[in-house]
Structure 1
Amino acid sequence: MKKPFTVAALSLSLSLSLSCSALAAPDAPTPARSAQQNKMVSCNAEAAGKKGEERKAFMKQCLSAAPVTKATAQQEKMKTCNADAAGKKGDERKAFMKTCLSAK
Structure 2
Amino acid sequence: MEKKRLFKLIFRIITGNRRGLFGFTILFIYIIIALAAPLLSPYDPLETDMDNAYLPPIGLGGTLDHPLGTDGLGRDIFSRLIHSARIDLVIAFLAATGAA
TM-score surpassing 0.5? no
The higher-RCO structure (CA 8 Å, 6+ apart) is: 2
Larger radius of gyration: 1
TM-score range, shorter chain: under 0.3
